[in-house]
Amino acid sequence: MKCRYCKKNFEQIEQYCPNCGRELNLENKKKIWPYFLVLSITIIEIILIFMPIKHIINFFSNYEIEDIRETKFIEEVKKLGCNVVDITESNNNSNVLAYYITDSNTCPYLISYTKFKDSKLQNNFYNQLVKEAENINGYKSYSSVNFNNYKEYNSTNQNEYRAALYSGKITIYMQGDITSKALLTNLKKELGFDLKMDWSFLSYIVAYIIIVNVMIIISWWLINRKMGRQGWICLIPIYNIICLCEDVLGKKSYAWLFLIPYVNFVFIVILLVHIAKVFGKDDGYQILTVFFSSITIPLIAFDDSTYTRPNKDSNLMSNNTSNTNYIITDDNHIETKPNPISETKELKKDNVLLITFKWMLTFGALFMTLGSYLLVVEDKEYEYIIPGIIFLILAIMACPLVTEHTKKFKTYSKYKNLIVFIIIVILLFIFSVL
């Protein structure tokens, strides 16, 4: 038993603490504050990652420049030594409010300004200009910006430069030889077509990175202390993984699996599951640790869960095959207690490579299930419904967490490998037909 005031451990159940003399609350109440702490930090992290996303979406959807008046356009073009001709009336289009074009006699390049009443017509006209800008013979390079209220297309080859610009109800088109590209690009900036990104959202991302990293370091520091090691071990790359494999899986040699591509991803899942196991968490918590480790790992660090050292000969999927529980106290002493699980039940040992293969097969089958039903939903290919169901059954049968609870069904366990083989053969046959 442990006194919640002086933090001293003692064997017998007492009403008063033998060390400090205070009255003890014999009810085993869980700490509530770790949940509030982790929940608060998680909410802050969500807000910090949501704000820049919202900022970027608003920037791209609402970005537009100030309305370019005809006088502004004429003034800037005349600075290039070009005269501007008003062809609004001669165009004979009631939807066109203004249409200006450079005089070919005084200007070596083509520049036009068009303003429509309807933004839809303006957008269609811009798309026509983009197609014209794309029709450059030979090799070309191009750049494109396509927002709701701001669009820009630039194309260049060895001899020519073309650009189509759109903002609000105004469309501008430029065309000239390659030597005039610098002048036309500068004209774009003078007219306001100079996309400027607002980088203020980076402060949210920096704050998010700082909070997440501080939380990760503190959590793993406390978990290492719970497992009887120095907290600073979590700061040393590679060595921290080796120590974690020994403390969670029972063997340092498992760390080499992190060096194998694709296998390392599956092994991380196994490691997260076993981190929850050695601290006495149930299957539901273990599954949550795989998908929400940023929440469950800090909870393990701050709550009153007790670390149980795994046996070095234990397999990767058994809860604990050791005859003894090794419990780390606050003074970093190791206490031993009998393990009732190992006294009543012998769990079958599985090779680490076999468990890794099962996890890979599970994730692969789940991925194929998702792909099959995406084909059904998106492309209306209903013949993939049955393969999707079969892949889902295969994923459930291969999942080591499910296998752990189905071992008691002897008939099923006896023929399980045969059933999996038959399912794979059926899938191969179905896909060969499809």
Residue 62 in domain: no
Same domain, 383 and 322: no
Rg (CA), the chain: 34
Q: What's 142's DSSP letter?
A: E
pLDDT for position 217 = 92
Q: What's 116's DSSP letter?
A: E
Higher model confidence: residue 45 or residue 13? 45
Same domain, 42 and 80: no
- How far apart (Å, rounded) are the C-alpha atoms in residues 296 and 407? 28
Over pLDDT 90: what percentage of the chain? 3
Domain-ending residue, one of 296, 319, 344: 344
Same domain, 213 and 335: yes
pLDDT for position 286 = 84
Residue 61 in domain: no
Residue 424 in domain: yes
The answer to which of 100-109, 299-308, 330-339 has the lowest mean pLDDT is 330-339
Residue 63 in domain: no
Residue 6 scores a pLDDT above 80: no
C-alpha triplet 346, 363, 431: angle, nearest 5°: 120
pLDDT, mean over the chain: 77
pLDDT for position 339 = 47
Note down the domain range covering 105: 70-194
pLDDT for position 313 = 53
pLDDT for position 136 = 66
The answer to which of 35-49, 309-323, 334-348, 389-403 has the lowest mean pLDDT is 334-348
- How far apart (Å, rounded) are the C-alpha atoms in residues 26 and 391? 51
In sequence order, what are the beta bridge partners of 72? none
Residue 327 scores a pLDDT above 70: no
Residue 271, amino acid: L
Residue 59 in domain: no
pLDDT for position 343 = 37
Q: What's 405's DSSP letter?
A: H
Same domain, 254 and 305: yes
Residue 129 in domain: yes
Query: Helix or strand or coil: residue 164?
Result: strand
pLDDT band with cut points at 50, 70 and 90 for residue 34: confident
Residue 320 scores a pLDDT above 50: no
Same domain, 367 and 404: yes
Higher model confidence: residue 227 or residue 149? 227
Domain-ending residue, one of 344, 367, 401: 344
Residue 58 in domain: no
Domain-ending residue, one of 142, 175, 194: 194
Residue 286, amino acid: Q
pLDDT for position 221 = 92
Same domain, 89 and 171: yes
Q: How many domains does the chain have?
A: 4
Same domain, 370 and 429: yes
Residue 209 in domain: yes
Same domain, 79 and 44: no
Same domain, 297 and 276: yes
Question: 72-101, pLDDT tens digit by residue?
Answer: 888 888 888 888 888 888 877 788 888 899
Same domain, 242 and 337: yes
380: left (phi over 0), alpha (psi -120 to 50) or beta: left
Global confidence as pTM: 0.53
pLDDT band with cut points at 50, 70 and 90 for residue 4: low
What strands lie across the sheet with 110-116, from one edge to the other?
84-86, 96-102, 110-116, 170-177, 160-167, 150-156, 141-146
Q: What are phi and psi of 96, to 5 degrees?
A: -95, 120
Q: Domain of 161: which CATH number?
A: 3.40.1000
Same domain, 410 and 336: no
pLDDT for position 139 = 60
Query: Stretch 382-390: mean pLDDT, rounded?
Result: 82
The answer to which of 126-140, 274-288, 380-394 has the lowest mean pLDDT is 126-140
Higher model confidence: residue 273 or residue 407? 273
pLDDT band with cut points at 50, 70 and 90 for residue 24: low
pLDDT band with cut points at 50, 70 and 90 for residue 419: confident
Question: 241-266, pLDDT tens digit by residue?
Answer: 899 888 888 888 888 888 888 778 87
Same domain, 226 and 317: yes
Question: 39-77, pLDDT tens digit by residue?
Answer: 888 888 888 888 888 888 777 776 766 677 888 888 888
pLDDT for position 344 = 35
pLDDT band with cut points at 50, 70 and 90 for residue 340: very low
Q: What are phi and psi of 181, to 5 degrees?
A: -60, -40
